[in-house]
Chains A and B, each alone.
Chain A
Amino acid sequence: MEPFNDQGTDELLIWRAFKSGDEAAFGEMYRTQVQALLNYGNKINPDRQQVQDSIQDLFIELWNSRERLKDTTSIKFYLFRSLRNKLSKLSKPDHSFPLDNAYETVSDPSVTFYFFDHEIESERIERLQKTILKLSRRQQEAINLRYFHDFNNEEIAEIMGLNYQSACKLIYSGLKFLKENVKLFTFIMLLFN
């Protein structure tokens, strides 16, 4: 994850400097955000080259249209939303961005998640990671945005092009599934201890 210093005023200053044509501010924006954008893009689109191309185009367009842009206090939100729009336009309709329905999103939680005494923490984490992959892609995306890119539910809804309730539902159901799994295995850990 990229810890991002989101002090609104600093961001606004950088944004305004960039809009007035300050190349250093533009470079700063790129460097602060590019890892998070690559990370996010690669999560939602398997074609790494396409993700890199899109980020490249996104910044070029950003520079070329800087005078028309509104003051926005969250550069990160703006960039994430634009990147997602770009990537979803590139992919075939409804294939790379499947819209999962609630009833099929949560995989079978009854898959037993045993943790054994001899396992070290890294192995436990690795196994829980596999559980994360059982979430639907959109659940993963929403959870990723919420807990790793620190967006709030409203922003997530807008980035993903969902209404507020659907975004909340995605996050809630994903988290619920993970919680069930994490509870099960810590319970088993306690039995062993």
Chain B
Amino acid sequence: MKGDRSSYKLNDFIADDSFKEWALGMAGSDFWDGYCKQYPLQQQVVEQARVLLLSLKASQESREDDQVVEAIWENIKKGKAQKSQTVFFSPVFWRVAAAAAVLLICWGGYRFSAQKQPGFGWQDSIAALSDMTEESNTSGKARDIKLPDGSTIRLENNTVLKYDKDFNVATRTVFLRGKAFFDVAKNAQKPFVIHSNGLVTKVLGTSFTIAANEDDQDVTVSVVTGKVAVVPQDRFEALPEKQSAQLSGLVLTPNQKAVYSRESAHLAKTLVENPVVVDKSLVRDHFTFENTPVNEVFAVLSKAYGINLVYDSATFQECSLIVALEDESLYDKLRVICKTLNATYRVMGSEILIEGKGCKQ
């Protein structure tokens, strides 16, 4: 028998089999029936545990149809009656086979292009790594490639991407020169690390664009979804947890852009040119404002775009707006609002500052 149950916490209750059976009505229990009377202070937590278990149970799917269960069993009986090669002709096997073939072709493609392109080293340490796979695009238009981990990368013209044969073994490290949009497959165990002209970008699964052309002074990283961390190459080398899942450095969220100046080694955070709505749930109902206090309008915009709007709420307290905003860009929206309020806005770093005189009569 378990020890003292009088000081049970929520965790203890839901891990206790006899409590679980009682709470779910699978078995009666005099002990649990009397428990709350015996320990009245526990009543609340018992109720919490009970509702939590019931909800967890309800979130499970209902039983599968008996017909389905029988159909599977019939197939199993048929399958095992024949010899083991039956297994290989099952539909599942063909799906696996098809996947393997696609993978093989991809690898063939990678190998082939790796041989066609002579190696190039923008950094001695990278050139020293043997057997790198290289993807380049000089076709004049964007080209999508897929990496072995499932990530998709759109290479713009005049862009080269390299990765080691160990890619996706312990880490996912690539080297980029040029401009590319990354849609990184999620894998928190293996951070995706991009080296580009002195700037290192680390992500766990997200989408963003990196522009690192050799001729450009600046390297930029613009985030579409998720979170990425950027850090200059020399600082990256000094990081103790280079390949860990931890994100350290300048952390960017959607609509933010990092600009790294190769010359001054200065790294700054700003906003992308055309921010997009991040929280789509806010769009439909909330962009139509009828006599809405302007502070509220700012709060909605700030949340929708994930961008901090800085303004003095006391100044704008008396202001309200009647406006329907639709597909125009964030900056156009702000222009409309500011015009109405006789206010101005400007981008400061990764925030937007709004200034005005307010609406006192």
Contacts and interface: CB of A to CB of B under 8 A. Distances in A.
Majority secondary structure of chain B interface residues (helix, strand, loop or mixed): helix
A39 B48 contact: no
A38 B62 CA distance: 10
Interface in A139-163: 143-144, 147-148, 150
Interface in A72-123: 86, 89-90, 92-95, 98-104, 121
Interface residues on B, range: 35 or more
Interface in A26-48: 27, 30-31, 34-35, 38-39, 42-43
Interface in B286-333: none
A60 B57 contact: no
Nearest to B69: A34
B184 to A, nearest CB: 9
A186 B92 contact: no
B170 interface: no
Contact of A30 (B15, B58, B73, B247): B73
B193 to A, nearest CB: 15
B172 to A, nearest CB: 10
A31 to B, nearest CB: 8
A53 B24 CA distance: 32
B243 interface: no
Interface string B136-163: 0000000000001110000000000000
B130 interface: no
Contacts of B91: 53
B77 to A, nearest CB: 9
A178 interface: yes
A69 interface: no
B80 A182 contact: no
B59 to A, nearest CB: 5
Contacts of A55: 72
Interface residues on A, range: 35 or more
Given A63-B80, A148-B57, A98 B90 contact: no
B55 A190 contact: no
Given A60-B79, A89-B96, A133-B59, A99 B90 contact: no
A99 to B, nearest CB: 5
B56 interface: yes
A129 B48 CA distance: 14
Given A30-B76, A54-B92, A56-B79, A94 B150 contact: yes
Contact of A42 (B61, B86, B93): B61
A27 B77 CA distance: 9
B264 interface: no
A1 interface: yes
B245 interface: yes
A191 interface: no
B196 to A, nearest CB: 22
A155 B105 CA distance: 37
B57 A178 contact: no
A35 B63 contact: yes
Contact of A90 (B60, B95, B227): B95
A175 B56 contact: no
Contacts of B86: 60
Contacts of B186: 94, 98-100
Nearest to B74: A56
Interface in B230-280: 245, 247
19 contacts: A35-B63, A35-B69, A39-B60, A43-B60, A59-B72, A60-B87, A86-B92, A94-B150, A99-B205, A100-B186, A100-B188, A101-B204, A104-B226, A121-B54, A125-B55, A126-B58, A179-B48, A182-B51, A186-B44
Interface of A: 1, 3, 27, 30-31, 34-35, 38-39, 42-43, 50, 52-57, 59-61, 63-64, 86, 89-90, 92-95, 98-104, 121, 124-126, 128-129, 131-133, 143-144, 147-148, 150, 175, 178-179, 182-183, 185-186, 189-190
Given A35-B69, A64-B80, A178-B52, 5 more contacts: A1-B57, A39-B61, A50-B95, A56-B90, A148-B56
